[in-house]
C-alpha cells in the first residue's frame, strides 16, 4: 500500500512537471514505473522462496546453506524496505559448538528376557529380571524427568570380531552354540558353568547387553554423550576370556574398553577400569593384567567369591590395584580406599577414558554380601570418579551395571549414582580439549637409548626388580621394559 501511495504521489507530481519541462517529466515517470516493477517482482519471488523452500520442509540434499538463506532473507527485507537490524542473523562461525549431554542412560528391554533357571520349582534367583524391571518401571520415569537425561534403547548387537577382542574364538563359538540349541528347542537349558545357564531368551539379553555397551562407547568417544550409564543384565565382570562365571556370559565392560582402544586408537590410548562391586571383577583384571595401556582397580569384600583380588596381584607394571575389604569394614574404610589409594594412582596413570563396573551389592540390604554401605557411599565414590574423569579424560566416563540383588536397594543406589553423574560439573573447555598426546615418552622409566644399550641380562634384571615376566626374546623383553612408566620406580 505504501509503495503504491508513493507511486501515485510521484506520478501526479511528474504529470505536473510534464507541462513545464516535458523531457524531465517523461524520464521521471519512466524511472518510477521501472522501480515499482522491480521492487514488486523481487518481493513476490523472495516471499515465495521463503514459504515454499523453508529448511524444515526441504530434502537434506537441497537445503541451502545459512549464508544462502541469509542472502535470500536480506533480499526480501530490502524489497520490503524494512531496515536490517545489526546482529539479527548471526553467521555460522559465530555459534559455539554444542556440548554433548552430561548424562545418557543406555538400556534395552530385551535384557529382561534372560532367566537364570528354567525349572518351575526354582521360582527365584538373585540375578532375576525383576532387578532391571524395577529400574525401568519404578526408577527411570521419575528420575529421568528430575535430572533431564535421555534413556536410549539402541538396536546394536556385537559382531564376533568385537567379542573376540576379549574372549577366545572357541569360547564365543561355545556360547553361540548353546544359544542356538536353546533357541531352536533342542534343549531347555545349557549350563556354561555351575552358576551360569542359558535358557529361553538368554541369547537376546546377553547379546543386547554387549551391543548396548558398545553403542555407549561409540557415543561417548564421538561426543554424542559425555557420561553414560549402561543399565543391562546379566552382568559381565566375572566372565573370563575363555569361560563364563558368576552369572556372567560376556564381559560387557571389557568389550567396551577394548572397543574404545581398537576403534579410536588416536583418541583412546590408555583406559582405566574401576570396580566397586562387592565381588572382585576377576574378568576385568585378567583382561588388563598384561596390558600396560590398561589399568584395573577394585575394592571388594574378601574373602568372598570369586576368591581372587589379593593386594599382591599388581599386574605387569603395577597397573592393577586391589584393596580387599573384610566383612567388618566400615563405609569410611571404603571411602578411604578410593580417595587415598585408588584414585591417586588413576590420576598418575592418566587415562583417556574411565570405565566403572558399577555393582551395588555392597549395600547393607544386599543378600549376597556382608558390607554395610549406604546410598551416600556410592554417591561419594561416583562424585570422586566423575571429577577425576573431568581432570584426566576430558570427562569421558562410562559406568556399567553389575551386581545389586535387592531390587529396592538397587533402585536407591542407582538413583544416587545417576544424581552424582548429573550434578558433577561439566569439564572445562581446557579439560575437554585436552588431547591424548600426553608426552608418554617423557614419563617412561627408561629412555629408548638406554634400553637399546642394555644386554639381555640387564633387561631381565630390571624386569625382575619390577616384578614383571622375564621370559621371551630380547626384542620382546625390551618392548616390555619400554612400556614401564616412571611412576613404577
Q: Which residues are catalytic?
A: 238
Contacts of residue 170, Cβ cutoff 8 Å, sequence gap at least 6? 242
Host H or E run for residue 401? strand 397-401
Q: Using an 8 Å Cβ cutoff, are 420 and 383 in contact?
A: yes
Other C-beta atoms lying within 10 Å of the C-beta of residue 304: 20
- List beta partners, residue 324: 300
Q: Residue 246: how many CB atoms within 10 A of its CB?
A: 24
181-217 exposure pattern, b = at least 16 Cβ within 10 A, e = fewer: ebeeeeeebbebeebbbbbebbbbbbbbbbbbbbbbb
CA angle 268, 471, 457 (to 5 degrees): 105
Q: How far is residue 219's CA from residue 226's CA, in Å, rounded to a whole number?
A: 8
Nearest 5°: the CA angle 91, 97, 99 is: 150
User: What grid cell was written down for 1?
Assistant: 500500500
Q: In whole angstroms, what is the distance from residue 145 CA to residue 279 CA?
A: 32
Cα separation of 116 and 202, whole Å? 8
Q: What is the DSSP letter of 84?
A: P
Which of 291, 279, 211 is CA-nearest to residue 245? 279
CA distances from 349 to 79, 143, 319, 388, 438 (A): 64, 34, 8, 12, 11
Return the HEC string of 416-478. HHHHHHHHCCCCCHHHHCCCCCCCHHHHECCCHHHHHCCCHHHHHHHHHHCCCCCCCCHHHHH
The Cα–Cα gap between 308 and 231 comes to 26
- Cα–Cα dist 286/280, whole Å: 11
In order of 154, 295, 319, 369, the CA distances from 394 in angstroms are 24, 17, 21, 35
The CA distance from 478 to 489, in Å, is: 17
CA 63 and chain centroid, separation: 32
Q: Nearest Cα to 275, choosing from 246, 247, 249, 295?
A: 295
Amino acid at each position: 500500500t505504501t509503495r503504491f501511495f508513493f507511486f501515485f504521489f510521484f506520478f501526479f507530481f511528474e504529470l505536473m512537471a510534464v507541462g513545464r519541462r516535458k523531457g524531465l517529466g517523461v524520464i521521471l515517470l519512466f524511472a518510477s514505473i521501472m522501480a515499482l516493477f522491480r521492487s514488486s517482482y523481487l518481493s513476490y519471488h523472495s516471499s515465495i522462496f521463503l514459504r515454499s523452500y523453508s529448511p524444515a520442509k526441504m530434502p537434506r540434499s537441497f537445503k541451502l546453506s545459512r549464508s544462502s538463506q541469509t542472502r535470500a532473507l536480506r533480499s526480501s527485507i530490502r524489497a520490503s524496505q524494512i531496515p536490517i537490524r545489526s546482529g539479527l542473523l548471526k553467521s555460522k562461525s559465530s555459534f559455539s559448538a554444542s556440548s554433548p549431554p552430561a548424562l545418557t542412560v543406555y538400556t534395552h528391554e530385551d535384557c529382561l528376557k534372560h532367566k537364570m533357571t528354567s525349572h518351575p520349582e526354582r521360582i527365584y534367583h538373585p540375578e532375576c529380571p525383576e532387578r532391571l524391571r524395577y529400574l525401568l518401571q519404578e526408577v527411570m520415569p521419575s528420575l529421568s524427568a528430575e535430572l533431564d537425561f535421555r534413556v536410549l534403547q539402541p538396536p546394536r548387537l556385537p559382531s564376533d570380531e568385537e567379542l573376540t577382542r576379549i574372549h577366545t574364538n572357541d569360547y564365543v563359538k561355545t556360547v553361540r552354540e548353546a544359544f542356538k540349541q536353546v533357541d531352536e528347542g533342542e534343549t531347555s537349558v545349557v549350563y556354561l558353568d555351575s552358576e551360569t545357564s542359558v535358557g529361553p531368551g538368554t541369547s537376546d539379553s546377553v547379546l543386547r547387553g554387549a551391543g548396548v555397551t558398545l553403542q555407549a562407547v561409540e557415543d561417548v568417544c564421538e561426543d554424542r554423550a559425555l557420561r553414560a550409564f549402561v543399565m543391562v543384565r546379566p552382568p559381565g565382570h566375572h566372565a573370563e576370556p575363555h569361560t563364563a562365571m558368576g552369572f556372567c556370559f560376556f564381559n560387557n565392560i571389557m568389550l567396551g574398553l577394548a572397543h574404545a582402544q581398537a576403534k579410536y586408537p588416536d583418541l583412546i590410548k590408555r583406559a582405566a577400569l574401576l570396580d566397586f562391586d562387592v565381588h572382585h571383577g576377576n574378568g576385568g583384571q585378567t583382561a588388563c593384567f598384561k596390558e600396560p595401556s590398561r589399568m584395573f582397580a577394585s575394592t571388594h569384600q574378601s574373602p568372598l567369591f570369586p576368591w581372587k583380588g589379593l593386594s599382591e596381584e599388581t599386574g605387569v607394571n603395577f597397573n592393577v590395584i586391589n584393596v580387599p575389604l573384610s566383612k567388618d569394614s566400615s563405609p569410611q574404610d571404603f571411602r578411604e580406599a578410593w580417595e587415598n589409594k585408588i584414585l591417586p594412582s588413576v590420576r598418575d596413570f592418566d587415562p583417556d577414558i574411565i570405565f566403572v563396573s558399577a555393582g551395588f551389592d555392597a549395600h547393607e540390604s544386599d543378600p549376597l554380601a556382608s558390607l554395610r554401605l549406604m546410598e551416600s557411599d556410592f554417591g561419594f565414590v561416583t562424585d570422586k570418579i566423575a571429577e577425576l574423569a573431568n581432570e584426566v579424560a576430558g570427562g569421558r566416563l562410562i559406568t556399567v551395571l553389575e551386581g545389586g540383588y535387592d531390587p529396592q536397594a538397587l533402585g536407591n543406589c542407582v538413583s544416587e549414582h545417576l544424581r552424582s553423574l548429573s550434578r558433577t560439573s561439566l569439564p572445562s573447555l581446557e579439560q575437554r580439549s585436552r588431547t591424548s598426546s600426553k608426552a608418554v615418552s617423557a614419563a617412561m622409566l627408561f629412555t629408548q637409548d638406554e634400553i637399546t644399550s642394555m644386554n639381555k641380562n640387564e633387561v631381565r634384571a630390571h624386569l625382575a626388580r619390577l616384578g614383571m615376566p622375564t621370559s621371551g626374546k630380547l626384542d620382546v623383553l625390551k618392548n616390555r621394559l619400554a612400556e614401564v612408566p616412571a611412576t613404577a620406580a
